[in-house]
With several copies, the nearest count.
Chain A
Amino acid sequence: MSAQALNRDLYRTVYLIRRAEEAIKENYLDDEMKTPMHMSMGAEAIAAGVCQALDRHDPVLGTYRSHGLYLAKTGESDRFFAEMYGRDTGMAQGKAGSMHLSAPEEGLIGTSAIVASNIPVALGAAFSHKQRNTGRVTAVFFGDGAIDEGVFWESLNSASLMKLPVLFVCEDNGYAVHIPAEQRHGYSDIAEVVSRFDCGVHRSESTDAEVIYTLTRDALADMSATGRPQFLHLKYYRYLEHVGVFEDFKAGYRPRDAFEPWLERDPVKVQREKVVGLLGEEAVAALEAEIDQQVAKSLEFAKQSPFPARSAVVEDVLA
């Protein structure tokens, strides 16, 4: 793939994620999206870069903070916004909401609001694809809080033991809700610990989606050469509060200062500059306009869509 095409794709994704979350911010106070919003602003490069490196239908799993992952994986926003608005046209008829996005036909198997709970699920998906020799890799996204949980370690151990094609993607924003990593971790460097397992380790603090892409490609190459699972340790800065659409520097648990350097290398800005260099301002503006329109239309679609019928509450409990 040419650098142009690659970077254009990456920009499309980071811009779509940013635009969609901005639309959430703009509309959330209308109280029509009745679902807790865990925003991913600041993390766009990760979802974009990793998903770009994966095959389109490779299975992925995520958390309650998966707007970016959904949009990176599907590129669509109609069913996305309809789900936020709790409508029948949402990808889960409104039953899931913001915390449980899925798109199984595109590989997004599921997202979970229980910290770390999808990590082992990725192992099963990887096993299933390995058994059938599909060549697929399963990626699971989780935060730095998830590595506190025992199931992360059980999963890391088993994936390493069974040589499962799992890509562990740790999106490390240094906080679990408001508790910093130093108050939760009994070691100084998670990558160091993980590297003692039979698992490849790669790390980055980049906000450049292309860097994340390349790192992921390297990890996938390592995986196919050695058969070992891979662990990506990726730092980023969460722009907004843990849940909700506002900044939260006033709360005092993290200083605004720390934000500034990250904002300077904002993932959308970084990628924009690059594509402007490659394709020119005009092409970029056109792409942005296209996405702006997509998001506007999806918002409209969502708001116009009907709610599910009351009877749906007891449907699809059992298959």
Chain B
Amino acid sequence: MTTTRQITYREALSEAMAQEMRRDPSVFVYGIDVADHKRIFGSSNGLVEEFGDQRCFSTPLSEDAMTGFGLGAALTGMRPVHVHMRVDFMLLAMNQIVNMLSSHYYGSGGTTPVPMVIRAVVGRGWGQSFQHNKTLHSWLAHIPGLKVVTPSTPRDAKGMLVSAIRDDNPVIFIEHRWFYDAVGEVPEGDGAEPLNGCRVLRPGKDITIVATSWMTVEALQAADVLARRGITAEVIDARTIAPFDVSEVVTSVQKSGHCIVVDNDWVHCGFGAEVAAQVYDHCYGSLKSPVTRLGFVPAPCPCTRPLENAFYTGATEIIRCVEEKLGLDQSDLSGENFFSYENKFKGPF
């Protein structure tokens, strides 16, 4: 029997890396600021101490070269984990990721796989603004040859990172900064979680809410509020953006007849469109309303709080959407204490 305990998402990440580094000497972790005293918001704590500065190290500010570096290491027997403090910085590495990593295995006639993980953190809040808030999971999912995951619980953070490190393909591992303090049950042992399929976070029968990344938290909060009115929403964490398996969503929508996709990203040409298209394809006859897509408003992310709040979607918008779909009056949400930046981080950045 596996014992579990409550740990944070942050701890789950370090634990996954430490566990795999212990198991396999070819695993190493690197990136800008990875080995400084802050350790990427604490998510690589303990690694330098245990494994030394050859297996966990900070690099020059050279995202492009350092991604190619990982590829070269991966092609010669190592299992690199490259870390970006913000998804936005990964834009400097797009040539390596898309032109090189994604196609190397194919282009080598299946001789040389690329066992590399790229962890990238999504920023949000405290005026991070438009150069520190991108998510880009739909971009990378669009490219064959890459796996893309967006774990939303400590359990998945650990288990999917373990599996990502063991996987022989390039895996883009996208973490939302706000999850880092989240606490949850995580198995003590191996804990590997498959890199495919969604996860039903909360069962329900009246409506299906498919969410990615931080939007799972918003969806769960919305579901809580709705539950008090007797509405049960099934909340599904999409979790694996590529390769994406829609079957759990389909099962749920066939039961509920309603579907909302809440993506932690912009809507146009995003992952939400993919989910919507697939749900429509599979549930055509059983849908009682069109699939609704929610996400960021179509703008760069602004700095100032009132606009930042307007930019992001959340529990309130989800509740309103459900009410509309089910033909319910708008409930009074003034007493609700939804998630906000201040709930998570106290004081200045």
A residues with a Cβ closer than 8 A to B are 28-29, 31, 33-37, 59, 61, 86-87, 90-100, 102, 104-105, 109-110, 112-129, 131-132, 138, 145-146, 148-151, 154-155, 157-158, 161, 176-179, 183-185, 243-245, 251-253, 307-308, 310, 312-319
Contacts and interface: CB of A to CB of B under 8 A. Distances in A.
Contacts of B74: 124
A224 B113 CA distance: 30
Given A129-B76, A176-B32, A185-B60, 20 more contacts: A34-B127, A34-B305, A35-B126, A35-B127, A87-B304, A100-B129, A109-B112, A121-B68, A121-B75, A123-B65, A146-B61, A158-B69, A161-B60, A177-B32, A245-B348, A312-B307, A313-B310, A317-B106, A318-B169, A319-B113
B21 to A, nearest CB: 13
B298 A120 contact: no
Given A90-B109, A95-B109, A98-B127, A310 B307 contact: yes
Interface of B: 28, 32-33, 36-38, 54, 58-78, 80, 88-89, 92, 95-96, 99-100, 104-115, 126-132, 144-145, 147, 168-169, 243, 297-300, 302-307, 310-311, 341-342, 347-349
A161 B30 CA distance: 15
Contacts of A244: 348-349
Contact of B109 (A93, A122, A126): A93
18 contacts: A28-B348, A34-B126, A34-B305, A35-B129, A35-B303, A59-B76, A96-B107, A109-B75, A120-B66, A120-B72, A126-B72, A128-B72, A128-B73, A150-B62, A310-B306, A317-B106, A317-B145, A318-B105
Nearest to A98: B127
A292 B303 CA distance: 27
Given A34-B126, A183-B58, A313-B299, A113 B131 contact: yes
B95 A117 contact: yes
Contact of A116 (B61, B112, B115): B61
Contacts of A102: 107-109, 111-112
Nearest to A111: B107
A290 B18 CA distance: 55
B100 A158 contact: no
B307 A94 contact: yes
Given A95-B129, A125-B72, A117 B100 contact: yes
B122 to A, nearest CB: 15
B299 A317 contact: yes
Given A92-B109, A95-B109, A151-B64, A121 B305 contact: no
Nearest to B167: A319
Given A253-B37, A308-B307, A319 B78 contact: no
B59 A158 contact: yes
Nearest to A316: B110
Nearest to B111: A104
A314 B306 contact: no
Nearest to A176: B61
Contacts of B306: 86, 307-308, 310
Contact of B65 (A36, A99, A112, A155): A155
A125 B59 CA distance: 16
B62 A92 contact: no
B128 to A, nearest CB: 7
A61 B342 CA distance: 33
Contacts of B310: 310, 313
Closest 3 CB pairs of A and B: A124-B72, A120-B68, A86-B304
Nearest to A149: B61
Given A34-B127, A314-B298, A131 B78 contact: yes
Nearest to A95: B302
A127 B99 contact: no
Contact of B303 (A96, A129, A245, A251): A96
A151 B65 contact: yes
Nearest to B349: A36
Interface centre among A90, A148, A307 (most CB of B within 10 A): A148
Contacts of A105: 111
Contacts of B112: 102, 104, 109-110
Nearest to A178: B36
Contacts of A121: 68-69, 71-72, 75, 100
B105 to A, nearest CB: 5
Given A110-B108, A117-B100, A252-B37, A154 B77 contact: no
Contact of B107 (A92, A126, A252): A92
Given A148-B60, A308-B304, A119 B68 contact: yes
Contacts of A146: 61
A178 B145 CA distance: 34
Nearest to A123: B69
Contacts of B67: 120
A177 B68 contact: no
A180 to B, nearest CB: 10
Interface centre among A117, A161, A251, A307 (most CB of B within 10 A): A117
